[in-house]
Amino acid sequence: MAEGIDRRADERMEFSTSKEVTVAPTFEDMHLKESLLRGIYAYGYESPSAVQSRAIVQICKGRDTIAQAQSGTGKTATFSISTLQVIDTVVRETQALVLSPTRELATQIQSVIMALGDYMNVQCHACIGGTNIGEDIRKLDYGQHVVSGTPGRVADMIRRRHLRTRHIKMLILDEADELLNRGFREQIYDVYRYLPPATQVVVVSATLPYDVLDMTTKFMTDPVRVLVKRDELTLEGIKQYFIAVEKEEWKFDTLCDLYDTLTITQAVIFCNTRRKVDWLTDKMREANFTVSSMHGEMPQKERDSIMQDFRQGNSRVLISTDVWARGIDVQQVSLVINYDLPTNRENYIHRIGRSGRFGRKGVAINFVTSDDVRILRDIELYYSTQIDEMPMNVLVTSLLGLAASSAATIVATDEVPLIGPAFISNFDPSNSTAIHNARTKLPRLMENLFSKGTLNRTDLAFSIDVFSAATNKSIYSYSHVGKDANRTLTAGVLNDKTIARIGSVTKLFTAYAIIAKGGMEVFAQPVTHFLPELAGNSSDDPLLRLDWKDITVGALLSQQAGTGGPADFLMKYFDPDEQLNYTTTDFLNFMRDDKRPVISPYRNAIYSDAGFVILGQVLARLAGKKTYSEAIRETIFKPLGLDSTSTSAPKGTGLNAINRKLIDANSSWGLDLEVVASSGGIYANGADLRTAGLSILNSELLSPTNTSEWMKPRSGTGSLVELVGAPWEISRLEIPVSPGSNRTRISDLYTKAGGNGDYTTIFALSPDHGIGYSILIAGLTASAARWPLRDTVGETFIPAAEHATWENARRNLAGTFVDKSAPGTNLTLTVDKGRPGLGLGAFWIKGVNGRDNDHWRIYPTGLNSISRSLSSLYKSKGRMRVAHRMVQPAPPMQPRAAVEGGKGGLFDNSFTWMDIDFQGPADELIFDLVDGRLVSVELPAAGLVLDRLK
């Protein structure tokens, strides 16, 4: 404070609200101008804060007023609204003067007055130091209704007679204690001497020390006093997060990312203005998200209807202004999002308090741009709280764990679906809203991984490619080249033609080639059938030696032979003085005579590099070649046109590759050993991986039956969500069955990861959706980087692909179908939120109801009139007939098992897969599709064909 304060007197001072002060509960009760009311509501205010409800009426009456209120309690709007009510905009003269301690605050006040007076044609100028005096003079000469400024510049403009004072009705001293603390006392007195004697004075201050009140005795006449105490709400029980959003326009995409979480219980999204509420509501609905909205300019009847729906749970996401922040309680709300941080800090606690009502726990998430950081820190200081940054990879289940009292959680659907796709995928997903949203959000998720330090921004170079079997081309690509990685790019670019090492994704190519040459029957063949030299090891002790007569090719392919890794072989034959030169004979002899078994055959899957080294030799024998490299080239690379794929480092001019040997002598680039090439030796680029993935989905090299058999689990692991194939690493995903649903179904993602030290790769296929993706990564931190990249891409695009099928089903499958030759015969197919597959909304045969409950669900079986190839599942053009089966749970429907989020026990009691075709084809439907649109439905058992009702 300024020198000369009587601190003992200051400590003895008491301040209380004047008795004549009453509370105006609404802005309408203040009898404000209609144009001003419109501006208040447009600005985002719905009901007055404590200081506003007490002080505005007194100021508008012309009373000198002292308002003590903490910063962030709405005091700026208090005197701004009062000023706008008092001034006459017809008179283009300065009628109100606001003095502030800082230029920033004066500018902020000007913007608030202009916004609140948006419908009044008000003129307000910020007269502050450090700006062009000529501009001040021009603006003031033109005429301003209100001037907001700092004392020095305002006093100067008054002395120069550019700021005319004869029409001034009101002087407002904002942050009066700070004005005096900054030494503006004399300048304030100078300004006051130029004002008309009858000027009304309003003093607003967070504290009222002695020198502030001493000043008021000189300026003010019988002032009315308004004291606002801090609200006694508590933040206890509410977990607070912020999400750093680099740009304002990214907030919308971030909100879309969180939508599935919002609908788990109920959520409220707060915006600062009515206009923002309307804009955001429209944007969300355009993106096929279900939301409702409410603000103060809506008719009361409409607001009541919206609130009733929200209270009853019919509406799950509400977008609102601060009209919802005070005094409205809905117990189910466990999540609040501040799309905009509140314009005053007092409202923050009222907003997020919506998520922690009646002793319940809740979660609050704040979207924060760089401009909002100061506001967020002010909120933390004001409430003595800590708001943590929310990691973008926080799972919905983790978030719900914070809101532990929520009534709903992530659970499986009530009806147990068949494993496999919920809907057919005979459409181009690249144009869907869900895929569009996935494309939009992935760059921000990548940025978050960098900013959190999960990925090394400078070290890594990586490329992502997402592809679709419906289009047979890429539907999304993303690449990043760190500063340290620039010199590793031999062509100066990173694209889908850039070659890198793919590590153990090689194993997938090895398995693919063996099946292509030998068919699935090769799985049952003993390894010694192809490699007789493995037979006859000298030990009878099963703990010491592998018994190769018990090990089949299938055991090796599914990593259930107990062959483990090759490190012990490499160490035994390693000579630091000689170049690495292991032979196939050396390796086979070691595996026969020295290799200790890891597990007994087929006990369970144990990762096995050594097993795939042996399989490389199996392939060579199958193909009649001397080496694995020759065999894989002849069997896979040439037939598919994989011209950039090889088993040794590519060379030559014009090479497009990531060669880390250029910056790191210890790089694995070029460390090629033929003997282990079949386990991790292949080099490839994104384009070739896409071609290989599409060839699998489209059954180009394998028969459709062999493809389907290959893409199945062959072993479990200790995790319910991780299975093992040959050699697929299968992630059993629980994905929401519809946008915004907390109900999930199982979908298997077939992946293979690979690594060669500073090179790693992820390769993934989703047969349910006909999409796949590859990620090629290079860098010192590549090994750790592959897993968050795998998760981020998969968690973004696989649910998006599921929701794209849901969108398509609503658009092209759902509808009513009738048999015009048999009156009273019709059926209605529905697509239902939170339920898998198609629903049977109605089913009548000649006036008789054929639907006895609402739990009928309809799923595709994979059979169609074109072929049994997987490729036919993704055919979007032409005419085809596709088989479906109806599933009807036996009444009463049993609850899902506890592990699936249901109320059952350890066991599944649905028996869905057992009941199909129990009564023959009575549950069969044949869909007739033309260019992906369902035109008629055949019921073979009833001999009916029903056409779509136009």
pLDDT of residue 11: 36
Rounded distance, CA 779 to CA 761, Å? 12
Q: Is the pLDDT of residue 382 over 80?
A: no
Angle at 89 between CA 84 and CA 91, to 5 degrees: 130
Which CATH superfamily includes the segment(s) 500-762+777-786?
DD-peptidase/beta-lactamase superfamily (3.40.710.10)
Task: List the domain boundaries for the chain.
Answer: 7-227, 238-409, 500-762+777-786, 814-948
CATH of domain 238-409: 3.40.50.300
228-237, 497-506, 570-579, 876-885 — which one is most confidently predicted on average?
497-506
Q: Are 777 and 761 in contact (CB under 8 A)?
A: yes
Give phi and psi for 839, each to the nearest 5.
Answer: -105, 155
pLDDT of residue 358: 37
Mean pLDDT on 280-295: 85
pLDDT of residue 310: 79
Straight-line distance from the first to the last Cα atom of the chain, in angstroms, rounded to the nearest whole number: 79
Q: Across the strands, what pairs with 366? A: 242, 338
pLDDT of residue 406: 37
pLDDT of residue 175: 81
Q: What are the pLDDT digits (tens) for 219-254?
A: 888 899 888 654 444 455 678 888 888 788 888 878
Cα pseudo-dihedral 692, 694, 697, 699, rounded to 10: -70
Lowest mean pLDDT among 39-48, 357-366, 837-846: 357-366
pLDDT of residue 720: 87
Q: What are the pLDDT digits (tens) for 342-369?
A: 887 767 876 786 554 334 467 889 999 8
Q: How confident is the model at residue 577 (pLDDT cuts 50, 70, 90)?
A: low
How would you class 615 by CB atoms within 10 Å of its CB: exposed for 0-12, middle for 13-18, buried for 19 or more?
buried
Mean pLDDT on 716-732: 93
Mean pLDDT of the chain: 85
pLDDT of residue 297: 76
DSSP-assigned letters across all residues of 634-675: IIIIHHHT-TT-BSS---STT--BB-GGGT-TT--TT---GG
Lowest mean pLDDT among 194-208, 275-289, 605-619, 885-899: 885-899
Rg for the chain (alpha carbons), in Å?
36
Contacts of 530 (CB under 8 A, 6+ apart): 553, 617, 618, 621, 622
pLDDT of residue 919: 78
Mean pLDDT on 707-733: 93
Lowest mean pLDDT among 162-166, 217-221, 363-367, 588-592: 217-221
Percent of the chain with pLDDT over 90: 50
Q: Is the pLDDT of residue 256 over 70?
A: yes
Q: Is the pLDDT of residue 262 over 70?
A: no
Q: Are 767 and 394 in contact (CB under 8 A)?
A: no
pLDDT of residue 393: 45
DSSP-assigned letters across all residues of 403-436: TTT-S---EE-SSPPPSS-SS---S-GGGSHHHH
Q: What are the pLDDT digits (tens) for 410-448?
A: 677 777 888 899 999 888 999 888 898 889 889 989 998
Lowest mean pLDDT among 160-174, 801-815, 840-854: 840-854
pLDDT of residue 288: 72
Q: How confident is the model at residue 327 (pLDDT cuts 50, 70, 90)?
A: very low
Q: Is the pLDDT of residue 12 over 60?
A: no
Q: Is the pLDDT of residue 334 over 80?
A: no
Q: Are 361 and 405 in contact (CB under 8 A)?
A: yes
**Alpha helices in 491-548, H assignment, sequence order:** 505-518
Top CATH class of 7-227 equals alpha beta
Angle at 497 between CA 651 and CA 704, to 5 degrees: 110
Q: Are 715 and 560 in contact (CB under 8 A)?
A: yes
Rounded distance, CA 393 to CA 791, Å? 9
596-600, 639-643, 821-825, 864-868 — which one is most confidently predicted on average?
639-643
Q: Is the pLDDT of residue 299 over 90?
A: no
Q: Tokens for 565, please give them.
A: 């890794």
Q: Is the pLDDT of residue 861 over 50?
A: yes
pLDDT of residue 10: 35
pLDDT of residue 431: 86
Mean pLDDT on 129-134: 85
Rounded distance, CA 466 to CA 798, Å? 10
Q: Is the pLDDT of residue 622 over 90?
A: yes
Q: Tokens for 745, please give them.
A: 């179904």
Rounded distance, CA 137 to CA 158, Å? 11
Q: Are 694 and 469 in contact (CB under 8 A)?
A: yes
Does this chain's domain 7-227 share its CATH topology with 238-409? yes
Q: Is the pLDDT of residue 69 over 70?
A: no
Rounded distance, CA 394 to CA 107, Å? 39
Q: How confident is the model at residue 611 (pLDDT cuts 50, 70, 90)?
A: very high
Mean pLDDT on 258-262: 61
Mean pLDDT on 466-486: 96
**Closest-CA residue to 140 (of 680, 644, 131):** 131
Q: Is 792 left (phi over 0), alpha (psi -120 to 50) or beta?
A: alpha
pLDDT of residue 302: 80
Rounded distance, CA 201 to CA 63, Å? 8
**Closest-CA residue to 827 (of 814, 817, 837, 813):** 817
142-156, 241-255, 389-403, 919-933 — which one is most confidently predicted on average?
142-156
Q: Are 112 and 148 in contact (CB under 8 A)?
A: no
